[in-house]
């Protein structure tokens, strides 16, 4: 299984301009496995089918294990597979289409899915695709993504870009596999918008049109995890149905030598008292001037926002916030991020 590869760049992230990689003019497929950790067939024939598809189709296809229930359950896995009309588990979808795989036909289905993926990759001219560059600052546990979405053909509709965090080598229980099963391609969360991302254009688009954007989010312990970032372009029709336009995946980050633009200490400070707590802690923010648009937010280790403390306007002086363990979701490590313009200050807290 691939791991993130980190390369050193001799510049600060805040000096970067938007230089998302060239967008590949190829058509990839997305294979979803709707699954659950408590499901015995998901860990037997469903497990074998998914591992075989990873081995035989990865590259021309991007694969996602969508846990709609159980220990690894998450909202996008539930909402996306429900939207496809899934009933039960395991279910295998090639883009939005249920492949009707079962314990009796999974080997035949594997061959049919592989052939469809290869044919699509080799013969279909894409309408559009997305390219992604990923950067990581260990200093402040921050991931930055640059995306470039390019249309190769004229098109019309409502287009969303979804960015998804996917994790490999997740050690967790799986029925029929045991307590230490190694889960691959686990869809963890949607990084922007809702489960289907966020809208970047609605209307008619001419071939050659490009859309550039940057995104940032907190993600803990990237150096020791095996993450992928998957981008999916969705087209939403008038009835609210989503179809997949194209997809791309990146499993390499650039790690910068210098930290990403941090808020100067003489401009704003942040204290957490205590940083390790049983039930509650206090956050103190000290501002040397008034800010009309300041963000103050708490994230878990997977970068999910669990509590928004910001009211945009913050007057000069001291501000105090009481944070309860139950407010953020229970025991674990969390990160409080203060953002002023393009500068950031992040600190960690732990609830036992």
Other residues' Cβ atoms within 10 Å of the Cβ of residue 313: 10
214 and 331 in a single domain? The answer is no
Q: What is the pLDDT of residues 176-205, one digit of tens each?
A: 999 999 999 999 999 999 999 999 999 999
Choosing from 228, 256, 284, the residue where a domain stops is 256
Residue 47: Cβ-neighbour burial (10 angstroms; 0-12, 13-18, 19+): buried
> And the tokens for 13?
């992230």
Q: Is 263 contained in some domain?
A: no
pLDDT at 115: 97
Would the pLDDT of 25 be above 70?
yes
User: For 238-260, what is the mean pLDDT?
Assistant: 82
324 and 207 in a single domain? The answer is no
Maximum mean pLDDT: which of 14-18, 22-26, 156-160, 303-307: 156-160
Choosing from 256, 279, 314, the residue where a domain stops is 256
Q: How confident is the model at residue 348 (pLDDT cuts 50, 70, 90)?
A: confident
Q: How confident is the model at residue 21 (pLDDT cuts 50, 70, 90)?
A: low
Would the pLDDT of 346 be above 70?
yes
Helix H segments across 4-140? Answer: 45-57, 75-83, 106-123
- 307 closest CA partner among 288, 286, 326: 326
71/215 Cα distance (integer angstroms): 28
Between 323 and 346, the more confident residue is 323
Predicted TM-score (pTM) of this structure: 0.79
204 and 57 in a single domain? The answer is yes
235 and 279 in a single domain? The answer is no
- 337 closest CA partner among 165, 142, 135, 134: 142
Is the separation of the CB atoms in 221 and 231 below 8 Å? no
CATH number of the CATH domain containing 165? 2.60.40.10
Choosing from 256, 278, 298, the residue where a domain stops is 256
Other residues' Cβ atoms within 10 Å of the Cβ of residue 326: 10
User: Mean pLDDT for the chain?
Assistant: 89
Would the pLDDT of 9 be above 80?
no
Is the separation of the CB atoms in 151 and 209 below 8 Å? yes
pLDDT at 17: 40
- 1 closest CA partner among 168, 119, 174, 222: 168
Between 303 and 247, the more confident residue is 247
User: For 287-312, what is the mean pLDDT?
Assistant: 86
CATH number of the CATH domain containing 299? 2.60.40.1930
Is the separation of the CB atoms in 186 and 174 below 8 Å? no
203 and 126 in a single domain? The answer is yes
277/324 Cα distance (integer angstroms): 10
pLDDT at 4: 34
Q: For residue 288, what are the domain limits?
A: 268-351
Q: How confident is the model at residue 300 (pLDDT cuts 50, 70, 90)?
A: confident
User: For 50-75, what is the mean pLDDT?
Assistant: 97
Q: Is 196 contained in some domain?
A: yes
Q: How much of the chain exceeds pLDDT 90, in percent? A: 66
Would the pLDDT of 7 be above 60?
no
Is the separation of the CB atoms in 124 and 70 below 8 Å? no
User: For 235-243, what is the mean pLDDT?
Assistant: 95
238 and 336 in a single domain? The answer is no
Sheet with 5-9, edge to edge strand ranges: 5-9, 252-256, 128-137, 142-151, 210-218
Q: Is 261 contained in some domain?
A: no
Between 161 and 295, the more confident residue is 161
pLDDT at 16: 40
User: For 284-313, what is the mean pLDDT?
Assistant: 87
91 and 160 in a single domain? The answer is yes
21 and 83 in a single domain? The answer is yes
Q: What is the pLDDT of residues 199-225, one digit of tens each?
A: 999 999 999 999 999 888 888 778 788
Q: What is the pLDDT of residues 96-153, one digit of tens each?
A: 999 999 999 999 999 999 999 999 999 999 999 999 998 887 777 788 888 999 999 9
Q: How confident is the model at residue 342 (pLDDT cuts 50, 70, 90)?
A: confident
> And the tokens for 264?
């100067």
334 and 217 in a single domain? The answer is no
User: For 247-270, what is the mean pLDDT?
Assistant: 78
Burial string for 267-292 (b: 16+ CB within 10 Å, else e) reads: ebbbebeeeebeeebebebebeeebe
DSSP β-bridge partners for residue 183: 170
Q: Is 262 contained in some domain?
A: no
194 and 328 in a single domain? The answer is no
Residue with tokens 């990581």: 136
Would the pLDDT of 174 be above 70?
yes
pLDDT at 142: 81
Would the pLDDT of 14 be above 60?
no
Would the pLDDT of 3 be above 70?
no
**Distances from the Cα of 88 to the Cα of 67, 200, 208, 270, angstroms:** 12, 33, 42, 48
Other residues' Cβ atoms within 10 Å of the Cβ of residue 143: 21
> And the tokens for 192?
């922007």
Q: Is 151 contained in some domain?
A: yes
Is the separation of the CB atoms in 34 and 96 below 8 Å? no
Maximum mean pLDDT: which of 89-98, 280-289, 299-308: 89-98
213 and 315 in a single domain? The answer is no
Residue 177: Cβ-neighbour burial (10 angstroms; 0-12, 13-18, 19+): middle
Domains of the chain: total: 2
């Amino acid at each position: 299984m691939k791991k993130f590869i980190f390369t050193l760049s001799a510049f600060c992230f805040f000096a970067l301009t938007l230089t998302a990689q060239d967008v590949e003019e190829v058509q990839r497929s997305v294979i979803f496995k709707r699954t659950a950790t408590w499901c015995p067939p998901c860990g037997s024939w469903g497990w074998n089918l998914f591992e075989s598809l990873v081995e035989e189709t990865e590259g021309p296809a991007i694969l996602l294990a969508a846990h709609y229930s159980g220990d690894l359950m998450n909202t996008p896995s539930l909402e996306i597979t429900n939207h496809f009309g899934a009933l039960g588990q395991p279910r295998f979808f090639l883009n939005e289409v249920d492949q009707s795989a079962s314990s009796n036909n999974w080997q035949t289905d594997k061959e049919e899915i592989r052939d469809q993926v290869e044919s699509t990759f080799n013969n279909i001219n894409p309408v559009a695709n997305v390219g992604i560059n990923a950067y990581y600052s260990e200093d402040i546990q921050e991931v930055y993504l640059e995306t470039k979405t390019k249309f190769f053909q004229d098109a019309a509709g409502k287009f969303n870009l979804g960015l998804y965090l996917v994790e490999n080598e997740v050690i967790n229980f799986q029925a029929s596999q045991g307590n230490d099963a190694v889960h691959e391609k686990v869809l963890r969360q949607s990084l922007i918008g809702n489960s289907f991302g966020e809208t970047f254009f609605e209307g008619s688009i001419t071939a050659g049109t490009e859309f550039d954007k940057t995104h940032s989010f907190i993600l803990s312990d990237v150096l020791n995890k095996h993450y992928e970032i998957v981008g999916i372009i969705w087209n939403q029709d008038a009835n609210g149905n989503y179809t997949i336009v194209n997809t791309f995946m990146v499993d390499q980050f650039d790690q910068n030598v210098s930290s990403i633009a941090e808020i100067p200490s003489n401009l704003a400070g942040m204290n957490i008292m205590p940083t390790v707590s049983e039930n509650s802690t206090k956050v103190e923010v000290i501002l040397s001037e008034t800010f009309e648009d300041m963000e103050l937010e708490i994230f878990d280790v997977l970068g999910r926002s669990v509590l928004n403390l910001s009211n945009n306007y913050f007057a000069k002086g001291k501000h105090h916030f009481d944070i309860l363990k139950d407010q953020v979701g229970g025991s674990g490590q969390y990160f409080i991020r203060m953002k002023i313009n393009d500068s950031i200050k992040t600190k960690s807290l732990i609830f036992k």
